[in-house]
Each structure stands twice: as C-alpha cells, then as structure tokens.
Amino acid sequence: MHRRAVAIIVMIGLGAGSTAQAQPPAAQDLARTKARAEQGDAEAQYRLAQRYVTGDAVPQDNDAALSWFRMAADQGHPGAQFMVGRAYAGGLGVPQDTAEAAAWYRKAADQGFAEAQAGLGVLYASGDGVPEDQTAAAALFREAAAQGHADAQLMLGAAYVTGRGVAQDDREGAAWFRRAADQGYPAAQFNLALMLADGRGVPQDIVESYKWLDVAASRTTGDEQAQYARVRDVVGGRCSPSELTEALRRSREWLETFAARERP
C-alpha cells in the first residue's frame, strides 16, 4: 500500500507555563486523511476506507468502509472499484450480486489492477455473473500473472495444464506454477511438485518434488496440510535415504531464505 512520511509537529508555547502538546503522528495522519477525503480526494477516501476495514485508529466499521470505497470508486479509483466489486461478490454490506461484482471488477481491470483482473477471470471461468468464457478468463489471468499476482499465476498454470481457454501445454503450466511457488503460494508448490514427480512439462526430479511438498505442507494447516503431507510421504517412499536427506536440506534452505526475504 502507499506510505507517506508523517512530520511530527511539536508545539512550543510562547508564554510562560505553556503545556500545549503535539498530537500523536497517527492521529495527525488520520485527521489529514479524513479532511482530504471529505474534500473529495479519491486516494484519501480509499485510505480512509481501508482504516475502517481494519480498525486502524478508527472503530472497525464495514458500512463506513464501503461508503468511502464507493465514493472513491465513483471517481475511478481502481483499488476502490475492486473493493466495491468484492463486497458485491461476497455480499458484504450489500446483497450478493456477482453481475454487479463483475461490472466493478471490469472497471478496475481495465485500468490494469491485477487483483480485479484475477477476480474477473474467476467469474468468467465459473460463469458466475457473466457468461462462462474460458478464453477471456485465461486472458485476464495472464494480465494479472504478468504483474506478479500469485493467484493468477496459479490459475494460468492450471489453464495450461488442463487446456482451458488456451492450448494445452504442460511446460507452460509448470512454468507458471513455479512463478507462484517461488512467491510462497502453497497450492502452486503442490501442483509443481506433482509435475516434478511425474516429469510432466519438466524433467522428472523426485528430490525437488519432495522439497516442494515439504515446503507446502509446512506453510499450511488443517485438511490442506494433511493432504500435502500424505502426498509428500508417498513421494518420499520413492526416494533413497540420501535423496530424502537432500530434499529435506533443500526444503529447510528454501524456508529460511523465504523467511529472511519476507522480513521487513
């Protein structure tokens, strides 16, 4: 998200015994954001809405958030348009209406907003709110994937593997799975591991397959984790003791490197 440096203003009383104090920086930032939002600044309206979503320095209030998102969206703010679309997609503060969600996603997608492109692609892929169109879905996934959107990279990879909306191509599918896997996306790590285990679209590599399955299992919980762990153990049964040792070393190394990269 956008960040803005906040100057700390210290008020020094000129008269004897003055006790005037500065507002905390967070309060100053909120006051400025709210003032600009009320004056019609779309970016400020969007930021204020986000504060109401998370309860950042204001009471958490989804209705207020949606109101400010809508004001910004009506001025063409793509992030706000996406959030209004998401509200309609999930029935959050408004009656659920996927056709309306698609219309708002389209406004943001046309401005190159990756999350909206991915969201609209999902609707086209499922025929929810729009006529089913796998070609349109794949095209939208590609636009978002090219911007580094991990969800879209996973879905574009799946489109290539299954031949939905694009010519079937295991090699291209594996390449997109790898891009999302490298970003830490467990479902992509799992799918890449399956392709490595079978040699689909990539040279067969049982050690790399086990590595990615171990990484995916370590980054999930519940049923998903149990599924990944079961498949990991099946693949592990195909590994020699030295291969298993190497796979676990690679998994630890990847997890440590990723954690270091994600630290602020």
Q: Are residues 109 and 41 in the same domain?
A: yes
With respect to residue 123, please indicate whether it lies within any of the assigned structural domains. yes
Q: Are residues 190 and 242 in the same domain?
A: yes
Q: Are residues 130 and 193 in the same domain?
A: no
Of the chain, the percentage scoring pLDDT greater than 90 comes to 86
Query: Residues 175-185, buried b or exposed e (16+ Cβ, 10 A)?
Result: bbbbbbbebbb
What is the reported pLDDT for 101?
Answer: 98
Q: Are residues 190 and 160 in the same domain?
A: no
* Nearest Cα residue to 86 out of 135, 122, 134: 122
With respect to residue 256, please indicate whether it lies within any of the assigned structural domains. yes
With respect to residue 3, please indicate whether it lies within any of the assigned structural domains. no
> 119, 144, 167: which is the final residue of a domain?
167
Q: Are residues 184 and 162 in the same domain?
A: no
What is the reported pLDDT for 26?
Answer: 65
With respect to residue 132, please indicate whether it lies within any of the assigned structural domains. yes
> 137, 167, 197: which is the final residue of a domain?
167
Report the range of poorest mean pLDDT among 4-8, 196-200, 202-206. 4-8
With respect to residue 41, please indicate whether it lies within any of the assigned structural domains. yes
Whether 32 has a pLDDT exceeding 80, the answer reads: yes
- What's the average model confidence in pLDDT over 82-102? 96
Q: Are residues 217 and 100 in the same domain?
A: no
Domain CATH for 69? 1.25.40.10
Whether 17 has a pLDDT exceeding 60, the answer reads: no
With respect to residue 134, please indicate whether it lies within any of the assigned structural domains. yes
Q: Are residues 191 and 148 in the same domain?
A: no
pTM of the model: 0.85
The mean pLDDT value of the chain amounts to 91
For residue 145, count CB atoms less than 10 angstroms from its CB and return exposed for 0-12, middle for 13-18, buried for 19 or more.
buried
Q: Are residues 123 and 46 in the same domain?
A: yes
Q: Are residues 39 and 160 in the same domain?
A: yes
Q: Are residues 212 and 123 in the same domain?
A: no
What is the reported pLDDT for 249?
Answer: 98
State which residues form the domain around 214: 180-264
What is the reported pLDDT for 23?
Answer: 57
What is the reported pLDDT for 230?
Answer: 98
Residue 264's contacts (CB-CB under 8 Å, 6 or more residues apart) are: none
What is the reported pLDDT for 158?
Answer: 98
DSSP string, 129-184: SS---HHHHHHHHHHHHTTT-HHHHHHHHHHHHHTSSS---HHHHHHHHHHHHHTT
Query: For the chain, where are the alpha helices, taking DSSP H only?
Result: 25-38, 42-54, 62-74, 78-90, 98-109, 114-126, 134-145, 150-162, 170-182, 186-198, 206-218, 222-236, 241-262
pLDDT digits (tens, 9 = 90+) for 140-190: 999 999 999 999 999 999 999 999 999 999 999 999 999 999 999 999 999
With respect to residue 13, please indicate whether it lies within any of the assigned structural domains. no
Whether 18 has a pLDDT exceeding 60, the answer reads: no
pLDDT digits (tens, 9 = 90+) for 107-151: 999 999 999 999 999 999 999 999 999 999 999 999 999 999 999
With respect to residue 23, please indicate whether it lies within any of the assigned structural domains. no
What is the reported pLDDT for 21?
Answer: 52
The total number of structural domains that make up the chain: 2
pLDDT digits (tens, 9 = 90+) for 199-241: 999 999 999 999 999 999 999 999 999 999 999 999 999 999 9
> 143, 167, 191: which is the final residue of a domain?
167
Q: Are residues 146 and 243 in the same domain?
A: no
Q: Are 152 and 144 in contact (CB under 8 A)?
A: yes
Q: Are residues 48 and 142 in the same domain?
A: yes
Phi-psi region of 51 (alpha: psi -120 to 50; beta: other; left: phi over 0): alpha
